[in-house]
Chain A
Amino acid sequence: MKTARGSRLSLLLGACLMASTSMAQEGDIARGEEASSTCVACHQANGGGMNIPGGESWPRLAGLNADYIAKQLHDFKSGDRQNATMMTFANMLNDQQIVDVAAYYSQLPATAGQGGDNADEALLARGQQLAERGDWNAYIVSCQSCHGPGGRGVGKTFPGIAGQHSGYIAAQLNAWKNEVRSNDPQNLMGAIAKRMSEEDIQAVSAWYATQPSAEGEATQ
């Protein structure tokens, strides 16, 4: 118990600093690039992933927080985050390789999100509302209250969701809603996802897919 808390606190401290920078000292970008050969088939050489309508979308990894990526890979290995495909690939990486690929992808320039272009104005407006203000009548807090201004992520815990593919965001929200995914701290995401309707999920996924993943960056 005490050890668990201690390690969590030190990780939190890490999040206060520039998490990606501190991670990069442990993870080796060149080695990470090498190890990423197992990832590129889906996540693409530029780390941009791909939105696949009607299928399993591959998330953009480029520019995500290194500690966040590393945690997800560990969770795929342990089964704390369930995904048959990713469990297979994560199992090919040892602990050092996980830190290395995380460091590699975190420093790649973020690419644009896909899958929001065909959304109509009303859906995007609803998405923007949920992202920026939430819908407190249904006790849905705004996305940015945890994922930060513009949905660009906060520390190692709350990943950037702006510029992510809509198919991936929707799939994850549905996974939380249906309790297929539960590797968030303190059920912070699960509690919200359960209050979201299918339309809310589509709206917010489309909205963030059209938003810039880094400040000042063009959407397309």
Chain B
Amino acid sequence: MSSFRRQRVVALSSTVLAVGAGLSLYTANAFSQQEERADAALNQLVHEPPTMEDLEASDLHPELKRVIRYGHDLFTNTQQLRGEYVFNDMNCSSCHLGEGRVPFSAPVWAAAITLPDFRGKNQHVNNLEERIAGCFAYSMNGTPPEYGSDEMLALSAYHQWLATGAPMYPDKPIYGRGFPAPEQPEAPSYTRGEAAYQENCAICHQEDGSGHYENGEYVFPAPWGDGSNNWGAGIARVETMAGFIYQNMPLGQPRSLTGQQAWDIAYYINSQERPQDPRYTGDVAETAERFGPTFHNRSLYGQTREHDGHVLGDHANFGEKGDTQPWNVGVPRFEHLSEE
């Protein structure tokens, strides 16, 4: 609960900052030093992760460099795991833009310096590998590589290396963490969202939200449908999607849409169907209720779509993964400590 509240605070100050600094942040350097910036008074942790060029120039062990390079490759081309661990059209970098380094695009190094920590979504303490495993089960609509496997070790090595030099368990809020949502002047509207989506997003993501393949190669991710994340992914929450859109879309033009447009588009996108939540009990209302307080209270899962009466998530379509059940979902931990 308290971690939610802290995120809210960061989101709020980041929004203020976004309004103040605007696009100028990105024209010079997305990571410009804290003292050079208008937000210095916010006293946040600003971290500029190393680049792949920095990796080559570093004196890390050549074997470690190889593993970090593999982690980077998995992160930016996660489709190489398609059919084994990934069952939709997404890459990690579809949502974590800029190779997971960029502020306001949920930079992934933040996980490496804040975990292990309690996670509201699954109600226990998660480490970095378990957090990454969550992405496989929900955002990638798949099932994770085993803890300690080559893939998992390489991905976590990449995360941790991106955090090079950042303090563990920082005592300041992290600049650019997550997808801070903009302010919402009015309640989101499906109709306005549809119009704004067709106007601003469809040229790449297509009118029907199916994304785009060119000559069989994946180019633009699918915002909904079987190629997209399932109902249990963080971005299925309207607030998170609104933040992602506002801070990152259209590609290359962060914060060019109004906050209202971002909320409307997010509401429209998250009112479309996608693969079932792997926590599905067999009944959408029951699932929505059971995971409401920890998750679905902020998604539209289980709600009735106004214009056609469709109940969102009321289906047994798990997408391409079929009846593959991600092994990490619904596994409690540290139960023997719960008496203390």
Contacts and interface: CB of A to CB of B under 8 A. Distances in A.
A140 to B, nearest CB: 8
Contacts of B200: 186
B215 interface: yes
Interface of chain B: mostly helix, strand, loop or mixed: mixed
Q: Which 7 A-B residue pairings sit nearest by Cβ, starting from the closest?
A: A136-B98, A139-B26, A149-B217, A148-B214, A154-B214, A191-B252, A141-B252
Interface stretch (B132-140, B158-166, B201-209): B201-209
A145 B26 CA distance: 18
8 contacts: A12-B202, A129-B53, A133-B52, A133-B76, A136-B102, A137-B31, A148-B217, A149-B215
Interface residues of A, number: 32
Contacts of B101: 136
Contact of B219 (A12, A129, A134, A154): A154
Contacts of A16: 206, 212
A191 B29 contact: no
Given A129-B53, A137-B31, A194-B27, 13 more contacts: A12-B203, A12-B206, A136-B99, A136-B101, A137-B30, A138-B29, A138-B30, A141-B251, A153-B214, A154-B220, A185-B203, A188-B251, A191-B253
B252 A9 contact: no
B207 A186 contact: no
Interface of chain A: mostly helix, strand, loop or mixed: helix
Nearest to A9: B207
Interface in A68-119: none
Given A12-B202, A16-B206, A186-B200, A192 B214 contact: no
A13 interface: yes
B203 A133 contact: no
Interface string B270-288: 0000000000000000000
B24 to A, nearest CB: 11
A146 B30 contact: no
Which of A9, A152, A155, A185 has the most chain B CB atoms inside 10 A of its CB? A155
B198 interface: yes
A152 B219 CA distance: 11
B51 interface: yes
Contacts of B254: 139
Contact of A134 (B48, B98, B199, B217): B98
Contacts of B27: 139, 194-195
A146 B251 contact: yes
Contacts of A138: 28-30
A157 interface: yes
A146 B204 contact: yes
A139 B207 contact: no
Contacts of A191: 252-253
Contact of B212 (A141, A152, A155): A155
A13 B76 CA distance: 28
A137 B29 CA distance: 5
Interface in B1-49: 26-31, 48
Contacts of A145: 219, 251
Contacts of A141: 97-98, 251-252
Interface string A196-220: 0000000000000000000100000
Contact of A215 (B51, B215, B220): B215
A187 interface: yes
Contacts of A155: 212, 214
A139 B30 contact: yes
A9 B29 contact: no
A142 to B, nearest CB: 9
A127 to B, nearest CB: 14
A129 to B, nearest CB: 8
Contacts of B167: none
B322 interface: no
A155 B31 CA distance: 34
A195 to B, nearest CB: 6
Contacts of A194: 27
